[in-house]
A and B are shown apart, each in its own frame.
Chain A
Amino acid sequence: MRDGRLGVKSGHGFYDDNDQRVAELTLKLYQVARQLDSDSA
């Protein structure tokens, strides 16, 4: 189990997120982080 990102790569996580779903959520993380930056500026 040294592959990291276990749920995504091996399909053995809690969620059934596929690559597209992970990409969408990751994009949202960028957006939220940018928003935090602008909120604190």
Chain B
Amino acid sequence: MVSGTRTLDGPLGLVGAGYIGHLFAQQFALAGYEVRAWSPGTSVRTLHDRLRQSVSTLAEIGVVEPSDIDDVVGRVSIHDDLATALTPCAAVMESIVEDAEVKSACYRDIEAVIGAEVLLWSATSNFPMTQLAAGMAHPERAVVVHPVQTQLIIFVEVVAGEHTSEETVTTTMRFCDDVDLRAVRVRKEIPGFLWNRVWFSMLREMLHLVDIGAADPLELDSIVQTTLRAFVPVFGPLQMTDLIGHDTLRDISNALYPNSRLTEPHRQRSNS
């Protein structure tokens, strides 16, 4: 599973080694990149054990050759201080606590030990890079790479800040291709990016329906599972709106949500 191409020439830094940091370390190491990990807390101390367990599971399902497990885990090194971990790196993946002030302070610490050309990726699921990078000396190198994941990363959302350079975005997208990560560029810097906005709109409504006593939670879960299974494997939701009719969908939506009315049917066409 080692990638043949190398967008970045050098190891990758990992700052934060909790659940998300672990997933990134695994993805990068599977693709053949050296990963140098440090964490502000204790998560890095258990990273090797967790990696061995998850890569072994991937071997069980045939994604990794059992004989490659040691090599994959061995590509990830653990470091006691930030400078030692990051100084040789070509890019740094940050996935520490979801606190904007803590992240911003961390970026200043990271910038103090890396070169000006080194990319900085944030796994934030919420904060705009424009905000997080406000105190950075080189905000042009910083971009959000937010993972949408279950047990593995399904895809990443790449979200530029106001000062992120186009080169940072294109290099990041190419790198994602290197490491077999599907990357979707978010075209506007909006809170929650894409998937969390879609997901939470449904989740909020489901929780509300349970809260007001309109539905039994297990039954609601069951009908959502069944109904999504019935059409999502065949039609994307927007593709389904083409079939049902945008005018019909708009009328239903406006009756349900009079305070956020859709005014015109969507007319944009895809290239598919």
A residues near B (Cβ < 8 Å) are: 1-8, 12-17, 22, 25-26, 28-29, 32-33, 36, 40
Contact of B270 among A14, A29, A36 (CB under 8 A): A14
Given A1-B246, A13-B241, decide whether A28 and B270 contact each other with a Cβ distance below 8 A: no
The answer to whether A29 touches B241, judged by C-beta atoms less than 8 angstroms apart, is no
Given A1-B265, A13-B242, A14-B268: 14 more A-B contacts, CB < 8 Å: A3-B245, A3-B247, A5-B243, A7-B241, A7-B245, A7-B246, A8-B243, A12-B246, A14-B242, A15-B238, A28-B234, A29-B230, A32-B229, A36-B229
Closest beta carbon of chain A to B243's beta carbon, Å: 6
Given A12-B265, A14-B269, decide whether A32 and B230 contact each other with a Cβ distance below 8 A: yes
Q: Compute how far the CA of A33 lies from the CA of B235 in the bound complex, rounded to whole angstroms.
A: 13
User: In the complex, what residues of A have CB within 8 A of residue B272's CB?
Assistant: 15-16
Q: Compute how far the CA of A25 lies from the CA of B231 in the bound complex, rounded to whole angstroms.
A: 10
How many residue pairs, one in A and one in B, have C-beta atoms under 8 Å apart?
A: 75
Given A6-B265, A12-B267, A29-B235, decide whether A36 and B242 contact each other with a Cβ distance below 8 A: no
User: In the complex, what residues of B have CB within 8 A of residue A1's CB?
Assistant: 246-247, 265
Q: Mark B249-272, 1 if CB is under 8 A from A, else 0.
A: 000000000000000011111101
The answer to whether B229 touches A14, judged by C-beta atoms less than 8 angstroms apart, is no
The answer to whether B245 touches A5, judged by C-beta atoms less than 8 angstroms apart, is yes
Q: Compute how far the CA of A12 lies from the CA of B267 in the bound complex, rounded to whole angstroms.
A: 5
Within 8 Å of chain A (Cβ to Cβ): is B226?
A: yes
Q: Compute how far the CA of A32 lies from the CA of B244 in the bound complex, rounded to whole angstroms.
A: 18
Given A5-B243, A5-B245, A14-B239, decide whether A29 and B231 contact each other with a Cβ distance below 8 A: yes
The answer to whether B269 touches A13, judged by C-beta atoms less than 8 angstroms apart, is yes
User: In the complex, what residues of B have CB within 8 A of residue A32's CB?
Assistant: 229-231, 233-234
Closest beta carbon of chain B to A30's beta carbon, Å: 10
Given A2-B247, A7-B246, A29-B235, decide whether A14 and B266 contact each other with a Cβ distance below 8 A: yes
Nearest 10 A-B pairs (CB), nearest first?
A7-B242, A13-B242, A4-B245, A1-B247, A28-B234, A6-B246, A6-B245, A14-B238, A5-B245, A12-B267
